[in-house]
């Protein structure tokens, strides 16, 4: 009988690698990374354990795993936070993304932890527990989202020609990251930023903090209900669609088309399912599973189906660009209103 160590290792590694996430959360929640970052000369395991009152064996092992993850580096017997760790795992830094890790982690009990149960029970959680209506979860999500949205918006503005945009409509604007980045890049532009009522106070606060209050109109509204204002050059729909039932996409896209002047452009950054293999990403399906197991209405759509939907909704010149380097979204889709 032949044994298949490689196959066994592959299967086991899928799960054991995901356990690194727990180490990341422990590093974040214990304040380990900022403490290391505050000691550029590095700390020994004993110094770290003593000064933070950490359990010494766990400290050694956590540092070992963080070393594998390239979040700490060893110099002799001293450990330092890497630059990436210090930038993104220190809550006092603007690009801190531990908030988002904690948001995902908070869902482990009721979301992914119950996936098998929901699968075999033949039903996902009831909509009343859902995050479409639970403003506490939504607020937690959007405050955790802050730096990730900002980084995504900056990358989007760097790669996209917005020079012709004078009136921008940002739908599901969140913290206003895309509005703020776009208006910073195009000084002549103004924007209307729409989000659900629970989010508008935070949205307005971000717009005010960016010094853009006189160029941005913040509006409380549900993009899926009623008409949108019209006459825009550009519509943004960034990281929003996946929260909606795909059966509602057609109506939403038709509303976007109606909001644009002829020749105006829609930019959609979204999680799209587009096949398997190393050149494709698993995150869209995982994000969609997270939403469905949390009781959300949303999901993920297929690139090909989505392209057709845009054509049917009054858009031409549709381009679909994979975003392999973006943490939050898998594709940038652009269309021109016919």
Binding residues (CB under 6 A) for ligand SAM: these are: 138, 142, 145, 149, 172-174, 177-178, 194-196, 199, 222-224, 238-240, 243
For residues 332 and 269, the answer to whether their CB atoms sit within 8 Å is: yes
86 versus 193: smaller Cβ distance to ligand SAM: 193
- Whether the CB-CB separation of 330 and 272 falls below 8 Å is answered with yes
Contact between 162 and 182 under an 8 Å Cβ cutoff? The reply is yes
Q: Give the nearer residue to ligand SAM in terms of CB position, either 63 or 144.
A: 144
Q: From the CB of 192, what's the least distance to ligand SAM, in Å?
A: 12
Our CB check for ligand SAM shows the closer of 59 and 334 to be 334
Tokens 């029970």 correspond to what residue? 121
Instruction: Choose between 25 and 138: whose C-beta lies nearer to ligand SAM.
Output: 138
CB 64 within 8 A of CB 77: no
H or E stretch covering 289:
helix 283-293
Q: Minimum distance from CB of 319 to ligand SAM (Å)?
A: 19
Closest distance of CB 110 from ligand SAM, Å:
19
Based on its alpha-carbon atoms, the radius of gyration of the chain, rounded to whole angstroms, reads 22
Q: Which residue is nearest to ligand SAM (CB)?
A: 174
User: CB of 33: closest distance to ligand SAM in angstroms?
Assistant: 25
Min CB(252)–ligand SAM separation in Å? 8
Residue 166 has φ and ψ, to the nearest 5°, of -110, -35
Nearer of residues 82 and 301 to ligand SAM, judged by Cβ? 301
How many C-beta atoms lie closer than 10 Å to residue 20's C-beta? 14
Whole-number Cα distances in Å, 136 to 87, 103, 140, 145, 304: 28, 12, 6, 14, 35
């Amino acid at each position: 009988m032949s044994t298949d160590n490689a196959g066994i290792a592959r299967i086991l590694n899928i799960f054991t690698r995901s356990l690194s996430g727990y180490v990341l959360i422990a590093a974040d929640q214990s304040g380990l990374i900022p403490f290391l970052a505050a000691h550029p000369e590095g700390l020994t395991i004993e110094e770290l354990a003593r000064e933070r009152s950490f359990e010494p064996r766990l400290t050694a092992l956590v540092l070992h795993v963080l070393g594998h993850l390239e979040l700490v580096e060893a110099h002799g017997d001293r450990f330092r936070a890497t630059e990436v760790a210090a930038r993104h795992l220190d809550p006092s830094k603007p690009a801190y993304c531990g908030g988002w890790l904690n948001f995902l982690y908070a869902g482990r009990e009721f979301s992914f932890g119950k996936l098998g149960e929901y699968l075999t029970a033949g039903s996902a959680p009831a909509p009343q527990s859902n995050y479409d209506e639970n403003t506490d979860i939504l607020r937690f999500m959007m405050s955790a989202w802050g730096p990730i949205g900002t980084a995504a918006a900056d990358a989007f503005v760097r790669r996209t020609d917005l020079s012709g945009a004078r009136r921008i409509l940002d739908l599901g604007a969140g913290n206003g990251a895309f509005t703020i980045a776009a208006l910073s890049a195009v000084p002549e532009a103004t924007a209307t930023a729409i989000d659900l009522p629970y989010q508008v106070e935070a949205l307005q606060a971000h717009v005010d903090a960016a010094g853009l209050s006189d160029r941005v109109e913040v509006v409380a509204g549900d993009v899926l209900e009623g008409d949108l204002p019209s006459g825009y050059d550009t519509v943004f729909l960034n990281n929003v669609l996946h929260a909606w039932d795909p059966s509602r996409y057609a109506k939403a896209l038709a509303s976007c088309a109606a909001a644009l002047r002829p020749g105006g452009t829609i930019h959609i950054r979204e999680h799209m399912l587009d096949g398997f293999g190393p050149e494709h990403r698993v995150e869209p399906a995982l994000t969609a599973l997270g939403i469905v197991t949390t009781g959300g209405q949303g999901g993920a759509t297929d690139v090909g189906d989505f392209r057709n939907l845009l054509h049917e909704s009054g858009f031409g010149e549709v381009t679909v660009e994979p975003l392999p380097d973006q943490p939050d979204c898998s594709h940038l889709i652009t269309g021109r209103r016919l």
